[in-house]
Structure 1
């Protein structure tokens, strides 16, 4: 016979057990995109979560939270309830570079997030002014060593991925180059096209029309593999500078402390979506080459290694945003 205590506790424990057994997800999931609408991050996030929503049976509510190089949106996720219902579209700029260059970061980048999975990488291309007599990194190195005044490289702003990439190139080539920051990719690209700066490293997609027209000259893909969009352009590694690696990556992360079983569910939905030929095609058109991670743990390692690779570059270049 059950005891009086067991009979009294049973009604109290029943709701707890029911909640514990509820399937995940059983309500909409919020995706925080740490940039304003319309850019590559926004396009990638909306496309991928459409496919994930079909598989999970719940819609995704998109919240664009721009500001501070992605830090404001990342903070929302880092401080959310660790239940898997608030996730972040993170990337090399908004998480890796931002966490290294800002003097005050309102979260611990190593523990504030639970990596779900990598979506892909957008290869960055190194371009120069066509007036420069260089077609390779070795030729750029030789020219930069005798340039007086130093060659200038553009970036979308102080503390941006482009700023860090330019510093990485100068360090790897062992040359001096002057950093010219702009307020975004558009103004930087405009001054490149006008001939006011000589070197620029950025995502391939917005650069490709100008490369094809001859307004800019591409000299290297700053990644481990050649780009499917420009298969004849050699990588930095092929040219003897494997330390120059500046691809822009995109991935999903939940709040730190999210139960691993929920992270695993989101990871499976993400990878199944990335396996769709139409999704892969549309991502490639947007300049992102699909590169899913085998597990959340594999993505966590990728994230840690990416940050460790950029940290000495940022320190040596004395990049700091107060």
Structure 2
């Protein structure tokens, strides 16, 4: 566990402490992943701006483990007063809730959705030795491969595992899953040509695509990426069912008073509107995606789980 105090909030005007005295003490943000990753970066950037507006500092607490389940459990079981928040995402909430055999909380009721922060579309890449520049060509290469093509992932039950399964199902091909302990080791073996296919967030892949060490096949998102504008989306390539974006959002403990959730949502969106913050996130391969309301994000989360559930079930993904 690692704790850091963001002091921007101590400079905020007293008016920021309105709304019935909330917040009346520091807010704790639990990031269910170790320090240093994308979750950690976006958490620090966004909560610094929120702290200044709320008039209270934000203490960031990294609680990694079990695909985000350990940190999520801390928030699920905290007092429902809006002083303990979760940086949730597609991996720690959607995929983990579908692949874990035993969750210590009900993901549908344990959290009070506040709003989205950002999304990073995943990019499908292959080692240059693979004879494919499009998804159709990857489909043909996979059908002709003996033995089967394999794909890397950051681990069993990860978003990358599910994304690879989604690609294989959409292309109607057999692909072997090769799990690693994190994105770094997986990426290293793909770069070395030991595993030919990988799907992950754009940020860590971008320099290798630009250098030619990896070949990008498609963006697995709803629109093209500003970082790789010439790269088609999976829908443009003829496979709209392949959609795998990494998203990041803010949630409170289930049962948190609606007025406090609304306050946090408003402050979150004000922070996300800052041009400098948006630039920093875009430089990291992320696009700001604020929610219109907590209810809108709740509907998005439910739809995301419904979309991934048959993929996970068909692939037999399960973590005991």
Q: TM-score, normalised by structure 1?
A: 0.93
CA-to-aligned-CA distance 1:143-166 (integer Å, 9 cap, x gap): 111211110000011000000000
1:172 aligned residue: 170
1:92 aligned residue: 90
Number of aligned residue pairs: give it: 302
**Does residue 199 of structure 2 align to residue 196 of structure 1?**
no
Matches within 5 A, 1:110-121: 110-121=108-119
**Does residue 151 of structure 2 align to residue 153 of structure 1?**
yes
What is the alpha-carbon distance in structure 2 between the residues aligned to residue 25 and residue 142 of structure 1? 57
**Does residue 135 of structure 2 align to residue 137 of structure 1?**
yes
What is the alpha-carbon distance in structure 1 between the residues aligned to residue 213 and residue 181 of structure 2? 21
What is the alpha-carbon distance in structure 2 between the residues aligned to residue 183 and residue 145 of structure 1? 28
2:302 to 288, 301, 304: 304
Per-residue deviation at 1:60? 0.5
2:246 aligned residue: 248
CA-to-aligned-CA distance 1:115-135 (integer Å, 9 cap, x gap): 000011011100001111111
Q: CA RMSD in A?
A: 0.8
What is the alpha-carbon distance in structure 2 between the residues aligned to residue 50 and residue 287 of structure 1? 20
Q: TM-score, normalised by structure 2?
A: 0.93
What is the alpha-carbon distance in structure 2 between the residues aligned to residue 81 and residue 291 of structure 1? 28
SS in 2 for 1:31: strand
Per-residue deviation at 1:25? 1.0
What is the alpha-carbon distance in structure 2 between the residues aligned to residue 91 and residue 285 of structure 1? 19
What is the alpha-carbon distance in structure 2 between the residues aligned to residue 24 and residue 243 of structure 1? 43
Task: Decide which structure has the larger Cα Rg and report it.
Answer: 1
What is the alpha-carbon distance in structure 1 between the residues aligned to residue 293 and residue 37 of structure 2? 27
**Does residue 33 of structure 2 align to residue 35 of structure 1?**
yes
1:125 aligned residue: 123
What is the alpha-carbon distance in structure 1 between the residues aligned to residue 180 and residue 245 of structure 2? 20
CA-to-aligned-CA distance 1:265-314 (integer Å, 9 cap, x gap): 00000000000000000111122110101000000000000011000000
SS in 2 for 1:123: strand
2:103 aligned residue: 105
- In structure 2, list runs of 5 or more residues that go unmatched: 1-18
What is the alpha-carbon distance in structure 2 between the residues aligned to residue 285 and residue 42 of structure 1? 15
- In structure 1, list runs of 5 or more residues that go unmatched: 1-20
What is the alpha-carbon distance in structure 2 between the residues aligned to residue 184 and residue 193 of structure 1? 15
SS in 2 for 1:54: helix
1:208 to 178, 194, 206: 206
What is the alpha-carbon distance in structure 2 between the residues aligned to residue 228 and residue 211 of structure 1? 14
1:49 to 47, 51, 55: 47
What is the alpha-carbon distance in structure 1 between the residues aligned to residue 301 and residue 150 of structure 2? 30
Deviant stretches of 4+, over 4 Å: none
Per-residue deviation at 1:22? 3.5
Per-residue deviation at 1:64? 0.5
